[in-house]
Structure formats: C-alpha cells, structure tokens
Amino acid sequence: MASFTRVNQHSQPLAKLDLPVGDSQRLHLVGVKARVANDITLTTSANGATASLKSSPFDGPKGIWVVELNGVSAGTVKLEAKHDNKVVASVEIKVFQKTLVALPDINTDEGMLTRLFLAESVNPGDSVNYKEADSKKSMLWMRKVIENRLAHATPNIFGARKQPSKSGFVLKDIVIAKNQFHGFEKYPTLDPSININLNGFTTIANNYSHPNRESYATFIANAKAAAAKDALKGFVDPSPKGLYGWRTKGSSEPGGQFTFYQHLAGQTFYTLK
C-alpha cells in the first residue's frame, strides 16, 4: 500500500503532520510505481498548503517519489496522491503559525532560574534517562530548594553572601553562591558550555523540522513554569524537613548537615539532618 512518509522513515506511514506557515517540508511518497511523475496527481483540500512532485523519482524501482510541501495559511489541509485516477495515499496537514520559543530576560529572577533549571536537568537528548513528567517535577523540587535556602534563618550556610546594596538575601545570592551551582557563580555571565547547551535547546525548540522539537519546547516551557513567581502556589514540600539541595545522581555526596532524601530525574535531592 502506498503512503506518505518522512524522508528517512519509509516504513512509517504518516497519517498527520504539522507544517508552519511560511515553511517548507519534504516528504516521500512511497509505493507508487508510476512510469513518469505526470502519472501521479497531488491535490489539496484547501489553500493552506501547496504540494508539488519532483519530476525524477527518489527510487524508481521501489516507487519512491519526492514531494515538496509549503505552508501558506493556518488551517487543516488534506493532501491526496492519485495514480490511475485512484487515491493511493493521503495525509492530514495542520498548517499553523510558529511560536518563537525564547528564554526570559537574563537579568530577571525568572530568566536566571529558567537557565539554572535547564542547565541542571537531564534534557530530551538523553533518550534513556529523560522523562518529561519526572523532569517537570524535578524542576519544581529545584525551585523549592532555592526558596528553602533563601527562607532559612542563616542562608550563608549554603554559601550565600548578601549584596551590599540589599538589606536582606535575594534569590540571586542563593544561585551565585560559591561552589553551589556549576557555571552560575558570575551570573549573568555563564560558563561557555552552559551557553552552548542553552542555545542548542532553543535552536531545536524553534526548528519545526527537528524530530525532537516538541520535546525541547516542552522542556523549556516546564523550566519557565518552575521559574515563574507563582510556581510554588499550592506546592507542598515532599520532604518533612524540607528540600535543601541536589546533585547529579552518582556525584559525591555534599556531606555536612545534608542527608539523602530521594533520587528523581537524574538528580539526587537532599534534606537537612
């Protein structure tokens, strides 16, 4: 049976696909052993997308043809391929306006925390260890660690140093504390490796041809949600004594007054003795 597929997934027929307005996408029409391209007709049910067939097949003996799609306007379009006046393949195309994925202003608490949570979390590129629900939960636990340290009677035990211009400790004091969060001690200047990773995350999240685009967009959205002012509204600290630290699972333990609480999403969380 003929079908539309991704160019590198000929064994996986497409029933639906998303196409941004103004973008183009290449598909393969697989299993149509036509003599020439003119023997195949492509039709769309609406004007939201255009489709054209390359004159030369990708693989003639296997009946694989190249289809070029272009998103014109938002809406749902059905693309059909006909051979010998019969519909041999179809796919539903959702044409939509792109949403730019960006990180919050680097000079805000939300921007700082978003970057911290993204830098510290297992990302979708780790297909073995990344699980969206656990990652989202872990980011909220990280936020609670930061807030608990800030609310502690003596935040300086976590390496925090009060800014001369402030009467009390602020979130940034907790985040830039020495030897606490790798690459953040000189925030808003970040370790170059962290910037490379963050730029990579947003690049993929905005690349609508990337197979992991949606996963990275969600990853970033979850970090932004955990960094929002009201992120912990209704949140209950899972630890009776409170969450006060985390490290990458498998790292050396922090020692001192910290004690193990639980592993989650590639992190080991700690409470206090």
What CATH code is carried by the domain that includes residue 18?
A: 2.60.40.10
Round to whole Å and give the CA distance between 223 and 200.
Answer: 15
Judge if 22 and 82 occupy the same domain: yes
Flag whether pLDDT at 174 surpasses 90. Answer: yes
Judge if 61 and 140 occupy the same domain: no
Judge if 170 and 89 occupy the same domain: no
Judge if 125 and 45 occupy the same domain: no
The region of weakest confidence among 69-83, 125-139, 160-174 is 160-174
Judge if 208 and 168 occupy the same domain: yes
pLDDT at 184: 98
Judge if 51 and 7 occupy the same domain: yes
pLDDT band for position 1 (50/70/90)?
confident
Between 154 and 256, where is the model more confident? 154
pLDDT band for position 167 (50/70/90)?
confident
How many separate domains does the chain show?
2
Final residue of a domain: which of 73, 96, 119? 96
Q: 91: domain range?
A: 3-96
pLDDT band for position 198 (50/70/90)?
very high
pLDDT at 211: 85
Judge if 29 and 55 occupy the same domain: yes
Judge if 66 and 143 occupy the same domain: no
Residues with Cβ within 8 Å of 224's Cβ and at least 6 positions away in sequence, in order, are 103, 104, 110, 114
Q: Give the sheet arrangement for strand 49-53, strand by strand.
A: 3-5, 24-30, 64-71, 49-53
Final residue of a domain: which of 96, 125, 147? 96
Work out the average pLDDT over 84-109. 96
Is residue 233 assigned to a domain? yes
Judge if 116 and 80 occupy the same domain: no
Judge if 201 and 247 occupy the same domain: yes
Residue 188: asked if its preceding bond is cis (omega within 30°), the reply is: yes
Round to whole Å and give the CA distance between 26 and 166.
Answer: 56
Flag whether pLDDT at 87 surpasses 90. Answer: yes
Final residue of a domain: which of 72, 96, 120? 96
Question: 24-30 and 40-44 as β-strands: parallel, antiparallel, unpaired?
Answer: unpaired
Is residue 70 assigned to a domain? yes
Mean pLDDT rounded to a whole number for the chain: 96
Is residue 102 assigned to a domain? no
pTM: 0.78
Is residue 178 assigned to a domain? yes
Is residue 47 assigned to a domain? yes
Is residue 145 assigned to a domain? yes
Measured over the CA atoms of residue 116, residue 117, residue 123 and residue 128, the dihedral's sign is positive
Judge if 173 and 255 occupy the same domain: yes
pLDDT at 242: 98
Flag whether pLDDT at 47 surpasses 90. Answer: yes
Residues with Cβ within 8 Å of 87's Cβ and at least 6 positions away in sequence, in order, are 80, 81
Residues with Cβ within 8 Å of 170's Cβ and at least 6 positions away in sequence, in order, are 150, 163
Judge if 137 and 260 occupy the same domain: yes
Is residue 12 assigned to a domain? yes
pLDDT band for position 102 (50/70/90)?
very high
* H helix and E strand count, the chain: 5, 11
Work out the average pLDDT over 211-219. 95
Is residue 179 assigned to a domain? yes
